[in-house]
Structure 1
Amino acid sequence: MNRRRPTLLAALTLTAAAALTLSACGSDDKPASDNDKIAGADTGSEKPASPSPSASDTGGRPEITFPADAKNVFEYQKTGDTTKDAVLKDSTLGVNSVDEAIFSGSTDTKALGFYNTESALSDSITYVLGYVDKKRTWVGETRYFDYKVNLVDENQAYVTYCSDESKSFIKDKKTGKVEETPTTADSYVLYNTKLAKNAEGVWQTTDIASDRGSETCQP
């Protein structure tokens, strides 16, 4: 489905070191639309990850659940670097927590503030409320791929990735109507994110920028 991600996400300022790795990133300056969807996650593996969100295997982390008619598929390989793999895993869980809030119809979920902070959290709350106020959700499958991770230091990292939203659609909760639309260039989005490790060792997303219709993510 064609969905325009809203421009509420703050532009991400890259350090010089990160820019070397993430030179393809950009921010989205296109108008917002009611059909916007934020996407997100499970853990990575050498094969496409399980489409069903799951709780982290680390004690104390909140479980994230999705309805039966919606799923996210994450395609990335573990790097073999313990820190980078932790960043990737928490990055996907951070985005997934936003979807869970949309599904639950509330921003008062444990995972949303657990995996997101600073501007990423405030922007995500505003974003979720856009769904809640209009009594909307989404169904289908969103695919994430082409992950790149860059460590700035032991507590900061940047992650970029693409999403394929061609098989996920906006649904009206009141009527049950699903808004199916054709696949176009705008079904593909490039995401550019910044993460920071907190005192508990969780890599929280702090900033997000996106470029809908990016040629980098086109099939």
Structure 2
Amino acid sequence: MRHHKTTTAAAALAAGVLLLTGCGGGGTKGGDSKKIAGADSGPSASATPSASASAAADAADRPKITLPADEVLTFHPETTGDPVKDAVLRDNAEYVRAVDEAIDNQDLKAPKVAFYAKDDALVGAMQWIGLITKQNVSITGTIDYFDRQVTVRQDGAAMLTYCGDETKGFTKDRKTGKVDVTPPDSDSYVSYALVLRKNDKGVWQTTKLSSVRGDKKCQR
């Protein structure tokens, strides 16, 4: 969706990490994304952590997240067969859902977002939620997140990249119920790069996020 073109500048102020719902006017455009510190440096894991290591006690009592019936988020792939990477993908999907739920509920405190994010990613998410709440719109339609790829580094961080297809996702005016249908174009596709770290409860929290709207590598 490119439904917040008028708020592009304001969204970009939110640390460049605002395209969490796949619906925003923030982030960078045309391949000029700023690199995430540490996202492309440091040693990669020479081997995937073992299943026994990934099966360490997960003490997290994950919150239930509910989206309205007219909003559908899809994630591909959902699993890879690797337990560590699958945990990263699962918690990333819940992070995205949590942000959208907060927007739909106009929840400016967004405790579920804080469950799945911290540091720069959390700051950006809270600013984004506040910005969209002021516009009095909700999200509707389908957004597809695809080509999700995880790399686990020896220092414990996980790097996640994926694309967002917003061609069937839109915003809806809360007062009138009118859906802002925009025709698809290159800006309907967004690339994302995230850094996640596992906390002491076993949750992979997003700490940094950058995005590029109109990225050629995500065009379909």
Length-normalised TM-score, structure 1: 0.77
C-alpha distance in structure 1 between counterparts of 2:2 and 2:203, whole Å: 33
Q: Name 1:103's counterpart in structure 2.
A: 104
The answer as to 2:27 corresponding to 1:2 is no
CA offsets 1:70-124 (integer angstroms, 9 cap, x no match): 1101110522221111111111111111111001101323311100111100110
CA offsets 1:110-141 (integer angstroms, 9 cap, x no match): 31110011110011000011111121111000
C-alpha distance in structure 1 between counterparts of 2:188 and 2:59, whole Å: 34
What 5-or-longer segments of structure 2 have no aligned partner? Answer: 18-33, 45-57
| Residue type at the aligned position of 1:2 | R
Q: Which runs of 4+ in 1 moved over 4 A?
A: none
Q: Name 2:85's counterpart in structure 1.
A: 84
| Residue type at the aligned position of 2:2 | N
Length-normalised TM-score, structure 2: 0.77
Q: 1:87 to 1:18 in 2, by over 3 A?
A: farther
- SS of the residue corresponding to residue 106 of structure 1 reads coil
| Residue type at the aligned position of 1:166 | T
C-alpha distance in structure 2 between counterparts of 1:143 and 1:79, whole Å: 18
Residue 17 of structure 1 deviates from its aligned partner by 4.3
- SS of the residue corresponding to residue 153 of structure 2 reads strand
Q: Name 1:61's counterpart in structure 2.
A: 62
Are the counterparts in 1 of residues 78 and 89 from structure 2 also a CA contact under 8 Å?
A: no
The answer as to 2:164 corresponding to 1:163 is yes
- What are the residue-to-residue correspondences of 1:1-219 with 2, within 5 Å? 1-3=1-3, 6-7=11-12, 8=14, 9-10=16-17, 11=34, 12-13=36-37, 14-17=39-42, 60-76=61-77, 78-153=79-154, 155-219=156-220
| Residue type at the aligned position of 1:69 | D
What 5-or-longer segments of structure 1 have no aligned partner? Answer: 20-56
C-alpha distance in structure 1 between counterparts of 2:153 and 2:195, whole Å: 10
| Residue type at the aligned position of 2:77 | Y
C-alpha distance in structure 2 between counterparts of 1:110 and 1:120, whole Å: 14
Q: Name 2:48's counterpart in structure 1.
A: none
Are the counterparts in 2 of residues 18 and 158 from structure 1 also a CA contact under 8 Å?
A: no
Are the counterparts in 2 of residues 164 and 189 from structure 1 also a CA contact under 8 Å?
A: yes
C-alpha distance in structure 2 between counterparts of 1:140 and 1:148, whole Å: 24
CA RMSD between the two structures: 2.1
Q: Name 2:25's counterpart in structure 1.
A: none
Bigger Rg over Cα: 2
